[in-house]
Amino acid sequence: MASVRGGSRVLASQIFNGAVGVLVIAALVVQSVLNVRTGTVPVGTRFVRMFSFFTVQSNVLVAVAAFSLALAPARDGRLWRVLRLDALVGISVTGVVYTTVLRTQHPLHGWAMATDAVLHYAVPLAVVIGWLAFGPRPRCDARTVWWSLAWPVAWLGYTLLHGSVAGWYPYPFINVTRHGYGIVALNALAVTAVLAVMAAAFWLGDAYLPGGRPRRPARSLPARSLRARSLRAQPRPASPLVLGFAAAPAIADEQVEQPPDDAHDDRAPEGRPEPGDVEGQG
């Protein structure tokens, strides 16, 4: 029965992750078609700009991780862990930042609106739900978290360098021409804080959600310590000296006869010789 349930869960995980990967690829294909049909700059420049967006790169990572899990639900490996965490953190930050900051920047219509909804809303929500439901866990540790920061830092460096050369920035809050490096640095720190919070949330969830790292068992004491503790718990026998003092009154009560009431009578008790009775002494 357990194996049947486990097999059903694996199959559901494969179907879910495969569907997420197909959804991302479909949205990127539609976006690429729109990119070819519209625009005033050369097509090559349009695609460079398209794949310079953090949103697009996050969705590409999601597609790679989703298809790999569809093929092997228990996939693991040091590089794959970093890729998986980057996909989780990147797509989550995409959803949060777009919803709170960028949603009203560019009014869209038609297929552009559809791809926007998929890349910024549907995919982030689906990825988090899939991670909560299927894992796999555990797949996160401190080293994975640190290495996962390499991609966002590299993206920021590339964006600033590309913007200084081409005069184009993918997002308004990182536009140095408009805001200057001081404001852009503050905005980058704010986004980095969101990245750190997301990474910490996935790290903790990886440990404490079902399937996470097992709890450490209580430390067992050595046999010598256990023996010493058991001996301390047992009542100690009293020493012979203490027993002697405690039993002395009882022994005296049993073996020593109490003097009769007439012990002070001048007459000698019956059977006791008088001092002058020579015959009794002999």
- pLDDT tens series, the chain, 282 aa: 445 566 787 789 999 999 999 999 999 999 999 999 988 899 999 999 999 999 999 999 999 999 999 999 999 999 999 999 999 999 999 998 888 887 766 677 889 999 999 999 999 999 999 999 998 999 898 899 999 999 999 999 999 999 999 999 999 889 999 999 999 999 999 888 888 889 989 999 998 888 766 555 545 545 555 555 555 555 555 544 444 444 444 444 444 444 444 444 444 444 444 444 444 444
Whether the upstream peptide bond of residue 214 has omega within 30° of 0, thus cis, is no
pLDDT at 220: 52
Q: Residue 38 has what pLDDT?
A: 85
Residues 6+ apart with CB under 8 A from 120: 55, 94, 95, 98, 99
211 Rama class: left (phi>0) / alpha (psi -120 to 50) / beta: left
- Whole-angstrom Cα distance, residue 267 to residue 199? 109
The pLDDT score that the predictor gives to residue 102 is 79
Residue-wise pLDDT for 143-172, tens only, equals: 999 999 999 999 999 999 999 999 999 998
Q: Minimal CA–CA distance to 202: which of 257, 138, 111?
A: 138
Q: Using alpha carbons only, give the angle 19, 151, 42 rounded to the nearest 5 degrees.
A: 80
Q: Residue 103: its pLDDT value, please?
A: 74
Tell me if 49 sits within 8 A of 170, measured CB to CB: yes
pLDDT value for 65: 97
Alpha-helical (H) ranges within the chain are: 2-37, 43-50, 54-71, 78-97, 110-117, 123-134, 142-148, 150-166, 176-208, 223-233, 240-255, 278-281
Is-above-0.95 flag for pTM?
A: no
User: Considering all CA atoms of the chain, what is the largest pairwise distance in Å, rounded to the nearest integer?
Assistant: 154
- pLDDT of the residue at 215: 52
**Tokens coding 269:** 């008790």
